[in-house]
A and B are shown apart, each in its own frame.
Chain A
Amino acid sequence: MKPSGPETEKTGIAASIYTYAVYLFFYIPILILIVYSFNDATYSVTWKGFTLDWYRVLFQDTNLWIAALHSLILAISASMAAAFFGTLAAISLFRYQFFGKKLVHGLVFILIVTPDIVTGIALLLLFSLFHLPLGFWSLLLAHISFCLPFVVVTVYARMSGLDKNIFEAARDLGARDLTIFGKIIIPLLMPAIIAGWLLSFTLSLDDVMISYFVSGPGFEILPLKIYALARLGVKPELNALCTIIFVITMSFVVIAQRLQRKQP
């Protein structure tokens, strides 16, 4: 498949240039954002020296702290619930036969593809039908439901890779479903569950579209706060805030990726 000659070398160089150009396109805006969060100037484009002032300004903003705390509580609870119920759903879909299984399996994938705005308004309608006031609980339920499919898919993929004979052997030796679940399935699935949990945490912490429709004035969260600030224009404090969140979510994604790569 690899013909040799001067033409290949030329295409090889072109390919490298193209690859680097795409990655630069992805990363330059973010890198500039990070660099400017340390720039000792409010509006200037030129570098005026290193400072941590913008981070200091951030840490003194009480409103921001409250929103950050809200987001953290929301992300932790939503991602843990999503990891729990998502794992149960993946196990049900993999091991059990039940009414509407095909439909449920289909819904998982449709939810992943559905534009966030559609999910957001569908949930808004659901919450208003049940007279659930918009605030922490509506956000929590919404975040669990949009994180869940990602956990299901991650866990299901790992389960498909497991040796089915293990379950049969355990069953032959007299293990009950719950024992098989606790002693065999869960430990083997752990990397995928943690990966799904981390991805859910990231999704929850970053979500704007769905939260926009199901949040109330009583419970402000960070992404919506960032959106409101970003609409007012570029500010060095906002650069600092975005830098912090980007670094946190990026590390979570990297860890999740590592866990998914581990072979069972």
Chain B
Amino acid sequence: MKSDAWFRYFAIGSTWFWLGVFSLLAFLLMLLASIMRQDQAHILYLPFTFNNYVLSFSPIYLTIFLRSFYLAGFCTFLCLVLAYPFAFLIARAEKNRREIMMLLLIIPFWTSSLIRSYAMVSLIKTKGIINTLLLTLGIIHQPMQLLYTNTAVMIGLVYNLLPFMILPLYANIERLDMRLVEAARDLGANRLTILKRIIIPLTMPGIVAGCILVLLPAMTLFYIPDLLGGAKSMLLGNLIQYQFLTAHNWPQGAAISMVLTLLMGLMLIAHKLLSHGKDSNEDFV
């Protein structure tokens, strides 16, 4: 086997190179940058400080952080409520129908969310389709101001992120052992009890996976508030973008990103614990 040892080394080496340098090292650099200082002359300099983290929780940033969390949290909740029954319907559909349903779901999952956000702009703008339609039908008498409001941002976020909630839920519901539901029914449990005591606990890993895939992008997809929202809809993503590209305060931007990364870490741990050692990664792709 010695003669092709080089192949093994090449495969392992290139794997380590890509993941070691472009993710591990890059993330360690972000951690480092978040505890460094910045001034006019230097992008980053020593000695280390925790001031960036303290500042991240100062009133100005905290307001944006909380608002961002509230908007993203509400978006995640809406997605969950909309996605759960939908994932169930796909999982219960007959095979041919299910394949078409999945394909139609995967297209918005993979195609550009920028283009879809832009499509939403032309739909809801003051002289857009929705307003024109409602005016013509006489349902409203004045065009609604939808674009550049928080409602528009919410519509845009749910529109873009709903598939990211449906897919992990579907993966979990599909694996659900229906015999458990039947057993519960035979033992006299009603629908609500079955849902509360069996279906929801068993699909909890999918719920958490979906929440991770929706909550984090909802806080960070800066072009959605930028295209659809007003000046007041600044989210965490817009703040990080601002720190890096306009204010040139990299340490502050890195610190805010670290807070976000920490949140992701906590959610991933929760997901791992809920999966009880099963291959928990399957939920994400």
Contacts and interface: CB of A to CB of B under 8 A. Distances in A.
A188 to B, nearest CB: 17
Where chain A touches its partner, the secondary structure class is helix
Given A22-B82, A45-B129, A117-B240, A245 B15 contact: no
A209 B107 contact: no
Contacts of B33: 125
A91 to B, nearest CB: 6
Contacts of A124: 244
A92 B10 CA distance: 10
A107 B111 contact: no
A30 B8 CA distance: 46
A45 B284 contact: no
Interface in B114-136: 114-123, 125, 127-129, 132
16 contacts: A1-B178, A25-B159, A25-B162, A26-B162, A33-B122, A88-B15, A89-B11, A98-B16, A121-B244, A122-B29, A126-B21, A148-B19, A206-B115, A223-B112, A230-B227, A245-B112
Interface of B: 1, 3-4, 7-8, 10-12, 14-16, 18-27, 29-30, 33, 43, 82, 85-86, 89, 99, 101, 103-108, 110-123, 125, 127-129, 132, 159, 162-163, 178, 181-182, 212-213, 216-217, 219-223, 226-227, 237, 240-241, 244-245, 250, 253-254, 257, 260-261, 264, 268, 281, 284-285
Query: When A and B form their complex, which 5 residue pairs have the shortest distance between CB atoms, in order from nearest?
Result: A206-B112, A145-B22, A122-B26, A29-B119, A89-B15
Interface of A: 1, 15, 18-19, 22-23, 25-30, 32-33, 36, 43, 45-46, 85, 88-89, 91-93, 96, 98, 100, 103-104, 107-119, 121-126, 128-129, 141-142, 144-145, 148, 150, 153-154, 157, 176-178, 181, 199, 202-203, 205-206, 208-209, 212-213, 223, 226-227, 230-231, 233-234, 238-239, 242, 245-246, 249-250, 253-254, 257, 261
